[in-house]
């Protein structure tokens, strides 16, 4: 009986073994329709370093290029670099803290093939040692990603960006875009904004904010629009009526401060304790805050001016001039006779002269008579060219729809 059962079971066992083998074979077989993907090539500084090694370093204090290169190449090569490659990059301009890279062969010899020094976050210089010395400059690829953001003001633009976890550089960009049209020192609780902008990255590392492409800022119940538009290869900002947001003068000479005293014909002086005119606006800000020129012009004064302390006066045209008092120091190169452009740093907030604390005493003169800076009208720059209006209007409508969709 037992032998009979074994004779019947044996063929079944053999058949199961064969079937299992077939299943294993089918499972292990590569599907011919699934492509075999080659490994992704590894690039650095636009060089293919798949089969090479790369090591990074940082220039140390008082370190020069000769000291860095000495373990890599001969002194003759270093001397040749110093003597003959200045037109591409002057090796005396390497700076402590800047990064460099050494690319070598991937073997026991570790023969140096390239040395790369990063001049800025984007610009670098390459020393190619492979055959004969070759040196050239190049730029990293900057990737732009379109982003959007929205926020509501509770106390200030700066705090709104912090509260919403937004890049502070975007706040600075917005203050530049709206410098001629919105007084950011007079924002009210509940003011809000929507913005579409470029986020920059270099080698997948965040690198700040590019252009603001479109923005709507609601302040005191009024919508202020800004749209980036290029004409003749020059980009600037325009509103919903195709008018330029740029003005002859900036709205204020410094960023993110508060007004501590306004224009008045009679104000009790905080030190002298007497009432007298205060024909300017005081902006309270930390000592050292940069103060910028309200517009293009010529510096007519950069000197100690009694109670004003360190004082700068700029003549912008035959009608307007501006004054900046209580500075801690002057901007680089600022002296009488210097020509400045709008936005140039002409000094830094301080407490020189008759002052109870760091602030800027800012004055505007029209035909040599003081006027209230907060009520001064500034004529707009040129609008969108008539020939470009159709293109601009189409862009504007698209951007408004996108701004409305931000939540």
Rounded distance between C-alpha atoms, residue 115 and residue 110, angstroms: 13
pLDDT band for position 35 (cuts 50, 70, 90): very low
pLDDT tens for each residue of 339-365: 999 999 999 999 998 888 899 999 999
Which pLDDT belongs to residue 237? 94
Question: Residue 237 in contact with residue 244, Cβ under 8 Å?
Answer: yes
The helix or strand, by DSSP H or E, that contains position 259, with its residue range, turns out to be strand 258-261
Q: For all residues of the chain together, what is the average pLDDT?
A: 83
Could you read off the pLDDT of 128-146 as tens digits, one per residue? 998 888 999 999 888 889 9
For residues 259-295, b (16+ Cβ closer than 10 Å) or e, as one string? beeebeeebeeeeeeeeeebbbbbbebeeebbbbbbb
Which residue would you say has higher pLDDT here, 373 or 17? Answer: 373
DSSP string, 118-148: ESSSSEEEEEE-SSS-EEEEEEPPEEEEEEE
Contacts made by residues 392-400, CB under 8 angstroms, sequence distance 24+: 392/227, 392/229, 392/238, 392/242, 393/242, 395/227, 395/229, 396/225, 396/227, 396/240, 396/242, 399/196, 399/213, 399/214, 399/227, 400/214, 400/216, 400/225, 400/240
Measured between its terminal Cα atoms, the distance across the chain in Å is: 82
Provide the CA 313 distance to its chain's centre, in angstroms: 30
* Phi and psi angles of residue 65, each rounded to the nearest 5 degrees, phi first: -65, -35
Of 332 and 368, the one with more pLDDT: 332
Q: Do domains 43-139 and 143-238 have the same CATH topology?
A: yes
Q: Which SS3 state, helix, strand or coil, does residue 138 take?
A: strand
Residue spans of the domains in the chain: they are: 43-139, 143-238, 258-375
Q: What is the pLDDT of residues 151-184, one digit of tens each?
A: 888 877 888 888 878 888 888 888 888 887 887 7
Average pLDDT, integer, range 195-207:
85
How confident is the model over 226-284, as pLDDT tens digits? 999 998 888 899 999 999 988 778 888 987 667 767 656 555 555 545 555 677 888 98
Nearest alpha carbon to residue 389 among 241, 247, 236: 241
Quick one: 258-375 is in which CATH superfamily? Glucose Permease (Domain IIA) (2.70.70.10)
Written as six digits, the tokens of 103 are 């690319």
The pTM is what?
A: 0.60
Residue 403 has pLDDT above 80, yes or no: yes
- Dmax (CA) for the chain in angstroms is 128
Is the pLDDT at 14 greater than 70? The verdict is: no
Residue 205: pLDDT band (50, 70, 90) is confident
The β-bridge partners of 275 are: 268
Q: Tell me the CATH class for 143-238.
A: alpha beta
Measure the CA–CA gap between 324 and 254, rounded to whole angstroms: 11
pLDDT for position 240 = 95
In the CATH scheme, what is the code of domain 43-139? Answer: 3.10.450.350
């Amino acid at each position: 009986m037992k032998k009979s059962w074994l004779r019947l079971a044996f063929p079944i066992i053999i058949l199961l073994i064969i079937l299992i083998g077939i299943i294993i074979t089918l499972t292990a077989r590569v599907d011919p329709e699934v492509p075999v993907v080659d490994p992704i090539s590894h690039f650095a500084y636009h060089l293919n370093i798949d089969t090479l090694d790369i090591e990074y370093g940082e220039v140390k204090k008082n370190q020069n290029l000769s000291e860095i290169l000495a373990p890599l190449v001969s002194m003759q090569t270093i001397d040749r670099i110093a003597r003959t490659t200045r037109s591409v990059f002057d090796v005396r301009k390497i700076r402590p803290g800047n990064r460099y890279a050494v690319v070598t062969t991937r073997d026991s010899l570790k023969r140096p093939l390239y040395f790369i020094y990063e001049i800025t976050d984007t610009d670098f210089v390459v020393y190619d040692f492979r055959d004969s010395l070759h040196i050239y400059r190049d730029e990293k690829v900057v990737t732009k990603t379109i982003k959007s953001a929205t926020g509501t003001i509770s106390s200030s633009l700066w705090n709104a960006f912090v509260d919403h976890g937004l890049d502070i550089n975007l706040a600075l960009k917005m203050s530049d875009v709206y410098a001629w049209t919105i007084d950011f020192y007079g924002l009210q609780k509940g003011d809000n904004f929507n913005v579409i902008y470029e986020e920059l990255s270099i080698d997948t590392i965040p690198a700040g904010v590019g252009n603001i492409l479109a923005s709507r800022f609601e302040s005191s119940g009024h919508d202020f629009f800004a749209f980036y538009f290029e004409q003749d290869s020059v980009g600037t900002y325009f509103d919903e009526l195709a008018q330029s947001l740029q003005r002859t003068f900036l709205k204020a000479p410094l960023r993110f401060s508060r007004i501590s005293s306004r224009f008045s014909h009679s104000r009790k002086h905080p030190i002298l304790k007497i009432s007298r005119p205060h024909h300017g606006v005081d902006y309270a800000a930390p000592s050292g805050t940069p103060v910028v020129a309200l517009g293009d012009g010529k510096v007519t004064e950069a000197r100690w001016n009694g109670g004003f302390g360190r004082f700068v006066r700029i003549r912008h045209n035959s009608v307007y001039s501006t004054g900046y008092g209580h500075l801690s120091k002057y901007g680089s190169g600022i002296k009488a006779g210097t020509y400045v452009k709008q936005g140039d740093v002409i000094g830094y907030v301080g407490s020189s002269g008759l002052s109870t604390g760091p602030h800027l005493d800012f004055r505007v003169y029209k035909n040599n008579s003081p006027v209230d800076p907060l009520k001064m009208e500034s004529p707009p720059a040129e609008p969108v060219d008539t020939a470009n209006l159709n293109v601009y209007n189409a862009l504007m409508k698209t951007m408004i729809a996108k701004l409305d969709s931000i939540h």
